[in-house]
Each structure stands twice: as structure tokens, then as C-alpha cells.
Structure 1
């Protein structure tokens, strides 16, 4: 491995997965995630993963949902979600997603800086592989990728993910969108760690073998 490759920062995908390997239902349903997400121990693990990132990346659909929620959330997880720079992958640009329906959600009054962090993120509109390689060359902590399903599938198919942090939920969907549905060829992974939580969730960390 040459020095330029060694200096690259990692791309880490953190995503919830059902026991049968789906990241959402057939129509993008993710309600099963929230049925088993509770617990201080799993929340701490997720929070540590978020805090360690230097950049958050996501697709445009995930951006729209997150931008309508995290600026107004009183969860401890909101702090790294709001503070860490974000890159949104979209061919057509983005609309301001911070004005979504917040009825029934926990709420705080966001600062102007928090609103700005979501209203004006960096937009990556070029080729996925080229954009990821460009981000890897930048200094800082690892790049943390969030779903949705299509964005995660595209990243997995690209072969550029350096670490998978899979939050495996005790749920069987039967049908849905599989994380590795677009991978062009078989690949071997090496288990780095596995942590079980009281809710029944298991956080499994893998890297390419």
C-alpha cells in the first residue's frame, strides 16, 4: 500500500438491518427499526459512532427526512448530527428540508447555525465513485454514510466502503430492499467486533477481508 492510499480516510456505513438482511420494507418502510431501537446501551454505541465522524454523507431522501427532524430534536444524538459537516449526494440538487412537519416530535428551538448546517450542506452531484474518492482524500476523521436503502446499496456496490457498522434488529421482514442487492460479485468480510444490547439489537462491525 502506497503512502497516498494509507493517508486516505475511511468510508464507514452505519445502517439498520433486519435479521434477514433488509434495510427497509418493499416500499421503503422503516417502522420496524423504531420498535427495537430503544435502550441506553445501544444509544451510546450509536452516539460514539456519530461523534467519531468527520463528515456525514447521505442521499437526498434521507437528507429531507433528517433535515426536518434533527435541528428540532432534544436527543443527545442531535448534537453530532447537527454539528458535523454534511455532504448530500444528489444529481439534481436539494431543496431546503428544514421546514418539514414536526407535529408530535420532541422539539427545541434551533440556533441559526444549526439551521444553516442543514439548509446549506455541501452537495455532491457528480459520479458517486469519483465524489467518494475525492472525500477520502480530504483530511479529517472518517466519512460516515447514512441510508436510505438506494444510497446504501449504491455505496455497497461501489466497493469503496472500508467498514460496515450494521445495527442488526431482531425483526424478520420477509421481503424488502436488501443492502447487498446491487453488489456485482461475492465479497468476503472480516468481523471486527460484535456488541449485543438489552433491546435484542446486535451491532456488528465488519471490514473487507
Structure 2
């Protein structure tokens, strides 16, 4: 059985994007060690899962990129979850071949988990990540906490009826001040 890993970058105050999804606050906090850690996590997956907004943002940015993180993002198949649909870009390499799943998030994730293979790696956006958390689908959280406070923005975790207890599996601090935290639900 495959596990679902939610891999997200977040500010020190728990936001995964600015109020409008801005990610410019990440600039400068990914040093070589942090990039290597992220690369290792990306290559351990055989499918990248994301919501339609994250897909629309990521496809044109990564398809032609020569950045270190581009290789696994471009090589590994993508599955896009959407409530209403998403137009696949025509000129974005493997991103143009993404599989689109309309609705049925919980059932489709549970089906994917029963298949043989490496882990499923979910990237976001914020709404998609919150849906995964609300449905109790996340088996592991890989959170890269960056040394910046946004004050407001898109939170990673939704409003919850009960606290979500986590068990720390690993933590690592990088020269830039970013910290990687790996948790599983307790």
C-alpha cells in the first residue's frame, strides 16, 4: 500500500502562501542542502498530486526550467484534482499529459493508495492540502518551514474540530535558517 505524503513550504507562522497565493517570500531561503533534501523527497514519489490552482501555477514555471527541482517535477507523472475542471496546457511537456480527476477526492486517493508503487506526493495548493487533511488522507507531512513571518495568508491547516496530533519522525535545520520537519499522524 502506498502512502500519501503532503510536502509543503510554509512560513514560520504557518502560511503556505500570501493572501493571494504569493510565493515570492520563499526567495533566498533554499540553500544547496535544503534543495538536496527537497530533491530526495521528490524522487521518492511516482506520482505528484495537486489541486488545479497549483497545477496552473506550476506547469508553465517548471516545464522549461533548468533549476535542480525541475527534473523530478517534470519527469514524474502528475494527477490534478479539480471540482470544476482544468485546461491542460499544450506546450508544457509532461505537464500537458497530467491526469485530471474531477471530484471524488477521498475515493480516488484511497484507490491510488491501494496500488503498488512508490509514494504519492501531494504539493498543494492550500485548498487542496486542507481537503487532504480534513479527509484524514495524509500519512506523512514533510514541512519546510522558512525563516519568514507573513502575518496573514493562506494557512496550511483548515479550521479543525479537534487537534491533529502529530509524531515527529525527523527534523533538520539548513544553513539558510529553513527547517524541515517530517511528521506522521499520531
- Which deviates more, 179-188 or 72-81? 179-188
CA shift at 1:27, angstroms? 2.1
1:165 to 142, 154, 157: 142
What is the alpha-carbon distance in structure 2 between the residues aligned to residue 152 and residue 34 of structure 1?
22
Q: Given that residues 58 and 147 in structure 1 are in contact (C-alpha distance below 8 angstroms), is that contact kept between their aligned partners in structure 2?
A: yes
Q: 1:182 to 1:129 in 2, by over 3 A?
A: farther
What is the alpha-carbon distance in structure 1 between the residues aligned to residue 155 and residue 86 of structure 2?
26
Report the counterpart of residue 13 of structure 2 in structure 1: 20
Does the alignment pair 1:122 with 2:114?
A: no
Bigger CA radius of gyration: 1
CA shift at 1:98, angstroms? 5.5
Does the alignment pair 1:198 with 2:164?
A: no
Structure 1: which 5+ runs fail to align? 1-7, 100-113
What is the alpha-carbon distance in structure 1 between the residues aligned to residue 62 and residue 22 of structure 2?
20
What is the alpha-carbon distance in structure 2 between the residues aligned to residue 97 and residue 167 of structure 1?
29
Q: Given that residues 157 and 184 in structure 1 are in contact (C-alpha distance below 8 angstroms), is that contact kept between their aligned partners in structure 2?
A: no
CA shift at 1:22, angstroms? 1.1
CA shift at 1:120, angstroms? 2.0
Does the alignment pair 1:185 with 2:177?
A: no
Aligned pairs, how many? Answer: 186
Q: Given that residues 162 and 208 in structure 1 are in contact (C-alpha distance below 8 angstroms), is that contact kept between their aligned partners in structure 2?
A: yes
Report the counterpart of residue 77 of structure 1 in structure 2: 69
Per-residue CA shift, 1:48-98, capped at 9, x if unaligned? 000000110001111111110212011122111111111000123221335
1:58 to 16, 30, 50: 50
What is the alpha-carbon distance in structure 2 between the residues aligned to residue 171 and residue 198 of structure 1?
14
TM-score by length of 1: 0.84
Does the alignment pair 1:208 with 2:185?
A: yes
Which 4+ residue blocks in structure 1 deviate beyond 6 angstroms? Answer: none
Q: Given that residues 81 and 100 in structure 2 are in contact (C-alpha distance below 8 angstroms), is that contact kept between their aligned partners in structure 1?
A: yes
TM-score by length of 2: 0.94
Report the counterpart of residue 148 of structure 1 in structure 2: 125
Q: Given that residues 57 and 87 in structure 1 are in contact (C-alpha distance below 8 angstroms), is that contact kept between their aligned partners in structure 2?
A: yes
What is the alpha-carbon distance in structure 2 between the residues aligned to residue 129 and residue 78 of structure 1?
28
Secondary structure of residue in 1 paired with 2:111: helix
Q: Indicate the RMSD between aligned Cα atoms, in angstroms.
A: 1.4
What is the alpha-carbon distance in structure 2 between the residues aligned to residue 41 and residue 158 of structure 1?
33
